[in-house]
Amino acid sequence: MTSHRGFSLRGRNPDVLTCIANLSNDEVFTPPEFANRMLDNMASAWTQSHPGEDLWSKPDVTFLDPFTKSGAFLREITSRLVKGLEEEIPDLEERVDHILTKQVFGIGVTQLTSLLARRSLYCSKFANGPHSIAKSFSTDQGNIWYERIEHTWAGGTEWVYTADNAGNRIKKFTNGKCIYCGASQKTLDRGDDLETHAYAFIHNDNINALIAELFGEDMQFDVIVGNPPYQLNDGGFGTSAAPIYDKFVEQAKKLNPRLLTMVIPSRWFAGGKGLDEFRESMLGDAHLRSIDDFLSAADVFPGIGLKGGVCYFLWDRDNAGDCRVQTHFKDWPVTTTIRPLLEEGADVFIRFNEGLSILKKVVAVETGQTESLELPEALRFERLVSSRKPFGLDTTFKGKASKSPGDLVIYQNGGKAYTPRSTVKANEGLVDKWKIFAGYAAPGTGNKDTYPHKIIPTPFLGEPGSISSETYLAIGPFDTQAETESALSYLSCRLTRLLILLHKPSQHVTRKVYTFVPSQKWTKNWTDEDLYAKYDLNEEEIAFIEKVVRPMDLNQADDA
């Protein structure tokens, strides 16, 4: 039988969906093995909510992948349903046709991926073609919909004159932003020959109305699963590109499925670049019941450079409570705990389970409290750290190679130079004080996550009469060189840098990442042994710190 042959061939090696290359970091294909891990977790949640029921034996449960690419999720769901519904629908061809026409649905993100997904699911790029294993479709698309749509541009201030279809002269703005996703018109308004990357799922005013239009007025999806596009490929790189995966999560929740599971970048744990509202929404949602956090995205998506790792979450509409958090990294033991997503006194998700216990000990010693992670402002090292552009000079500022009388030393991108005192536009009171300069961008591990690493660039002493460009933050002021060297030694300690890591969403080392770092007395050179003893850390906690944070030699330059 053709349908049986289609499903048996899927099990042969190599599986084509394990071999295809990703098109970009924006739209990442999901390996089938990883898709199955997510489906296992989802099925377990279903059984817990519906005692004695097997999700895959339910002929009326509906599934949607609203951003299907390779079709891995839909194919693996279908394979499980084919087995699970064997008693309910004994005839294989009838069973396959029922699953594909009544239970499994997708929305393609591009024309290419929609064709790929149909080939994965129906064994034909045409759902109603002679080779399709579905027999009841009347359209080429079947239940995997795709239609090219355009961005909706607004806010433009630059324009050109062109002509409409009738040849009339019109004024066309060229530098707007899409009102739905924030895409740059200059980057993505590029004609009919290229993909618009205007994803239907988030380019609408009413997602429920869109789903009704595509799949019928009565359609209510029980399960939404997938791997959405992560960011706008706007000519930037890594974290310079704008995240959009949060918009897909929010739209999926509006459809009110019973279960929702997605794999997304982990940067949202601490917010940053357009993600602060999304972080607050997620951390305040008691229906988020599990997070599996992978510190390195390469462990999930081989060959993809995605700084900050990825996670997949499970959202359960009908069950609220604390969240099961698992941390995964290479061959390290997986750690698991059940805890609130947002600890009292914290404004971010504490990523490492081990890191949470360490932070609680630090705060307890400093404040005497065990219920909250909040450090009083007077105890925060953060208050010593400047904002970006500490002296009002951006990264492109270039000083002089030679010094004139009265010039200040400036530490800038590319090294040390000189500039007149009149250059200073902010923090004039810090110019003639002792200070520390710390790089704004973390030292390079490329675009990958490796451990142990340094967490922050190697800081260095800033003498009176020195300033910096935006390349560095300024930490101070300090009254003496000895105090400054004491604070510098503190920043070199592994525990200090772990506390920074717990609040650090990307490679940028902003003032905010020092939120969990307590200040100290600047009367000695600090060592990790001093800090381990002060906060009464045990052997396991020390071992964790030293596994995650690399030693820092203050006399050694950062890695290239």
pLDDT tens-digit map of 42-57: 999 999 988 889 999 9
pLDDT of residue 233: 58
pLDDT at 532 over 90: yes
Co-location of 488 and 385 in the same domain:
yes
Least Cα distance to 354 among 379, 382, 392, 325 occurs for: 325
Q: What residue spans of 402-538 are helical by DSSP H?
A: 481-492, 494-501, 528-534
Listed range (5-14, 307-316, 396-405) with the worst mean pLDDT: 5-14
Please indicate, yes or no, if residue 33 is contained in any of the structural domains.
no
Average pLDDT over residues 90-108: 96
The string of DSSP codes covering 98-114 is HHHHHTEEEEESSHHHH
The radius of gyration of the chain's CA atoms, rounded to the nearest angstrom, is 27
Q: What percent of the chain has pLDDT above 90?
A: 72
Count Cβ atoms below 10 Å from residue 250 Cβ, excluding itself: 15
- Ramachandran category for residue 502: left, alpha or beta (phi over 0 → left; psi -120 to 50 → alpha): alpha
Co-location of 96 and 160 in the same domain:
no
- What is the rounded distance in angstroms from the CA atom of residue 209 to the CA atom of residue 186? 30
Cα-Cα-Cα-Cα dihedral of 508, 498, 456, 534, to 10°? 130
Least Cα distance to 180 among 164, 161, 200 occurs for: 200
- What is the rounded distance in angstroms from the CA atom of residue 228 to the CA atom of residue 95? 29
pLDDT in tens, 328-345: 988 888 999 999 999 999
pLDDT in tens, 130-159: 999 999 999 999 999 999 999 999 999 998
Domain limits for position 189: 150-197
The answer to whether the CB of 421 falls within 8 A of the CB of 408 is yes
- What is the rounded distance in angstroms from the CA atom of residue 327 to the CA atom of residue 316? 20
Average pLDDT over residues 277-297: 94
Of 185, 209, 226, the last residue of a domain is: 226
Count Cβ atoms below 10 Å from residue 446 Cβ, excluding itself: 10
pLDDT of residue 444: 52
More confidently predicted of 234 and 182: 182
- For residue 96, give the 3-state DSSP assignment: helix
- What is the rounded distance in angstroms from the CA atom of residue 264 to the CA atom of residue 499? 24
Please indicate, yes or no, if residue 394 is contained in any of the structural domains.
yes
pLDDT at 449 over 90: no
- What is the rounded distance in angstroms from the CA atom of residue 170 to the CA atom of residue 162? 5
pLDDT in tens, 482-528: 999 999 999 999 999 999 999 986 677 889 999 999 999 999 999 99
The answer to whether the CB of 350 falls within 8 A of the CB of 372 is no
Average pLDDT over residues 432-459: 81
Please indicate, yes or no, if residue 502 is contained in any of the structural domains.
yes
- For 528, phi and psi rounded to 5 degrees? -60, -35
Distance of CA 313 to the CA centre of its chain: 12
Average pLDDT over residues 377-405: 94
Please indicate, yes or no, if residue 319 is contained in any of the structural domains.
no
Please indicate, yes or no, if residue 300 is contained in any of the structural domains.
no
User: Across the strands, what pairs with 172?
Assistant: 160
Please indicate, yes or no, if residue 82 is contained in any of the structural domains.
yes
Please indicate, yes or no, if residue 430 is contained in any of the structural domains.
yes
Confidence of residue 234 (pLDDT cuts 50, 70, 90): low
Co-location of 98 and 86 in the same domain:
yes
Co-location of 388 and 472 in the same domain:
yes
406-426 b/e (C-beta count within 10 Å ≥ 16 → b): ebbbbbbbeeebbbeeebbee
The answer to whether the CB of 77 falls within 8 A of the CB of 36 is no
**Number of folded domains in the chain?**
3
- For 310, phi and psi rounded to 5 degrees? -135, 165
pTM given for the model: 0.86
pLDDT at 18 over 60: no
In total, the chain counts a number of residues equal to: 560
pLDDT of residue 204: 95
Please indicate, yes or no, if residue 370 is contained in any of the structural domains.
yes
Co-location of 473 and 525 in the same domain:
yes
Least Cα distance to 427 among 321, 519, 307, 511 occurs for: 511
Co-location of 191 and 67 in the same domain:
no
Co-location of 391 and 532 in the same domain:
yes
Co-location of 131 and 166 in the same domain:
no
Co-location of 422 and 483 in the same domain:
yes
Average pLDDT over residues 386-390: 92
Average pLDDT over residues 186-201: 88
Distance of CA 316 to the CA centre of its chain: 21
The string of DSSP codes covering 114-150 is HHHHHHHHHSSSSTTSTT-S--S--SSSTTEE-----
pLDDT of residue 142: 96
Co-location of 427 and 491 in the same domain:
yes
Co-location of 84 and 222 in the same domain:
yes
Co-location of 173 and 57 in the same domain:
no
